[in-house]
């Protein structure tokens, strides 16, 4: 798959070169050129697209678990960032029957994992335009030998759409990269009796002729891999916390009162503890969904409503994974990465939140967690820029946590927590880089930290522990 992607990128480059030589002119005297088929991430050249910036996705879909068919439309509101003659959306989903741009029919064709859209006339730089893609069929998961299986997974009674670094393109057309964040609304119609969980705040639920439409809205910009939908037989608990909706759901095959239920019941408490460390909770809703599916042996910080494999809630009650995924609401979701090589900014901070939570909840000092990790981590692998095969490796997670604590030891508690809160605050709803984090840490602490942090992030030998 990776080889195929690279080949596609080369092809696309050639195409652009060709098009630039004879630019389409949508309006007299102006030149309009195609947007690039990738957003420019060196790890994943075809992820995302160039030439526009999405502001909102509004999905109106119907799913029938009886035949696995998904049908409906995606309305994508975007702003052109160049004079656009055509543009790409990432889409691996079912057959497209029509595409309109600002209400007018547009040409569309599928090229590998891209939907190429040519509007009837060029889109001027800076203009806002609305694309509606109508499609129907049986969505398929995304499988990569290196990154596992994600995207749309049909289940016995429903479906689960989940995955990192990509999953959204398996069920809706998208600019699939965390650099282009957008608000997100979902209207999903399913057979009555099933539940639909997604991101953000729940909306009105309506039923007709044995079908029920569930509505969800995430009103803070969201990276596309953080969108999810879970359809099935779930025990849904709806309440409020800190004046915001708190919706949790647990697969109904788990007994009532299971460890999964107990962990979900602590969602608000864990979020409140993290808010004392990181600053105000960044979103309009709280929640979590526990799924039982052999293909999902992980948890993911899907925005405002993380999805957890039940495998985390086995014999003992433990909320460390809840602390991890909720920490991502600040670090990963609200503050997103600008490129996948910066992934430690998500995982290092979330690992550190596990240590903070352990100290708060069970009295295990953070220093003890650090010391244990320091002696177990493989220093041969970098935390920053780990390569695609290292994206979810120990060096990103555990070494990332070590980096965060090393920074704390280096600058002291006052500066350290100010750095975390400033980072969450100034980069809220944005995408950010490792360089920007280092610059902010230096500014807040008044100390030069670049060499120190880069050593902790990338040195092949264990750096000396600060203060030792
Ligand atoms: Zn994580």
3-state SS, residue 419: helix
Q: How confident is the model at residue 14 (pLDDT cuts 50, 70, 90)?
A: very low
Please name which of 345, 340, 342, 407 lies closest in space to residue 370, comparing C-alpha atoms: 407
Distance from the alpha carbon of residue 189 to the mean position of ligand 1, in angstroms? 30
Distance from the alpha carbon of residue 239 to the mean position of ligand 1, in angstroms? 26
Distance from the alpha carbon of residue 416 to the mean position of ligand 1, in angstroms? 21
Number of H helices, E strands in the chain: 10, 24
Q: How confident is the model at residue 27 (pLDDT cuts 50, 70, 90)?
A: low
Distance from the alpha carbon of residue 326 to the mean position of ligand 1, in angstroms? 9
Provide the token pair at 405. 């604590």
Q: CA–CA separation, 94 vs 92, rounded Å?
A: 7
User: So what's the pLDDT on residue 145?
Assistant: 81
Distance from the alpha carbon of residue 383 to the mean position of ligand 1, in angstroms? 14
Q: CA–CA separation, 90 vs 47, rounded Å?
A: 7
> Quick check: pTM over 0.95?
no
On the question of pLDDT at 22 being above 80, the answer is: no
Q: How confident is the model at residue 29 (pLDDT cuts 50, 70, 90)?
A: low
Q: CA–CA separation, 425 vs 9, rounded Å?
A: 36
User: So what's the pLDDT on residue 421?
Assistant: 98
Distance from the alpha carbon of residue 171 to the mean position of ligand 1, in angstroms? 23
Q: Which of 100-109, 145-154, 159-168, 265-274 has the least mean pLDDT?
A: 145-154
Distance from the alpha carbon of residue 442 to the mean position of ligand 1, in angstroms? 25
Q: Whole-number mean pLDDT of the chain?
A: 93
Residue ranges near ligand 1 (ion) with Cβ within 5 Å? 347, 350
- For the stretch 220-246, pLDDT in tens is 999 999 999 999 999 999 999 999 999
Average pLDDT on 236-257 reads 97
């Amino acid at each position: 798959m990776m080889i195929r992607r690279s080949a596609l990128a080369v092809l696309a480059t050639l195409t652009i070169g060709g098009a630039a030589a004879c630019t389409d002119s949508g309006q007299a005297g102006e030149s309009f050129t195609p947007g690039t088929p990738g957003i420019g991430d060196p790890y994943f050249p075809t992820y995302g697209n160039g030439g526009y910036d999405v502001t909102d996705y509004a999905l109106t879909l119907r799913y029938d678990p009886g035949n696995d068919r998904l049908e409906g439309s995606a309305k994508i509101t975007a702003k052109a960032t160049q004079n656009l003659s055509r543009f790409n959306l990432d889409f691996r989903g079912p057959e497209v029957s029509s595409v309109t741009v600002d209400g007018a029919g547009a040409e569309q064709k599928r090229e590998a994992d891209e939907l190429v859209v040519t509007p009837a006339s060029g889109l001027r730089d800076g203009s806002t335009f609305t694309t509606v893609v109508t499609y129907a069929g049986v969505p398929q998961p995304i499988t990569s030998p290196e990154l596992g299986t994600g995207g749309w997974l049909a289940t016995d009674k429903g479906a689960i759409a989940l995955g990192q670094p990509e999953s959204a393109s398996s069920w809706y057309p998208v600019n699939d990269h965390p650099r282009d964040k957008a608000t997100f609304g979902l209207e999903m119609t399913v057979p009555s009796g099933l539940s639909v969980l997604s991101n953000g705040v729940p909306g009105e639920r309506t039923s007709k002729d044995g079908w029920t439409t569930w509505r969800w809205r995430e009103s803070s910009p969201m990276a596309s891999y953080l969108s999810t939908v879970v359809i099935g037989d779930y025990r849904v608990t709806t309440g409020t916390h800190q004046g915001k909706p708190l919706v949790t759901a647990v697969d109904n095959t788990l007994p009532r009162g299971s460890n999964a239920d107990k962990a979900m019941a602590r969602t608000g408490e864990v979020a409140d503890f993290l808010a004392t460390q990181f600053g105000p909770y960044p979103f309009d809703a709280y929640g979590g969904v526990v799924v039982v599916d052999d293909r999902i042996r992980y948890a993911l910080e899907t925005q405002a409503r993380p999805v957890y494999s039940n495998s985390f809630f086995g014999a003992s009650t433990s909320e460390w994974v809840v602390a991890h995924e909720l920490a991502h609401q600040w670090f990963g979701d609200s503050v997103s990465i600008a490129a996948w090589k910066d992934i430690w900014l998500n995982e290092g901070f979330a690992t550190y939140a596990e240590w903070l939570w352990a100290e708060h909840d069970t009295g295990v000092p953070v220093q003890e967690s650090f010391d244990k990790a320091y002696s177990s981590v493989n220093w041969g692998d970098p935390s920053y820029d780990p390569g695609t095969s290292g994206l979810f490796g120990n060096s990103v997670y555990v070494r990332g946590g070590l980096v965060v604590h090393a920074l704390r030891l280096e600058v002291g508690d006052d500066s350290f927590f100010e750095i975390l809160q400033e980072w969450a605050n100034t980069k809220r709803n944005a995408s950010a880089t490792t360089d920007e984090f280092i610059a902010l840490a230096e500014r807040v602490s008044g100390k030069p930290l670049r060499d120190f942090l880069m050593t902790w992030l990338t040195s092949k030998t264990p750096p000396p522990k600060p203060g030792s």
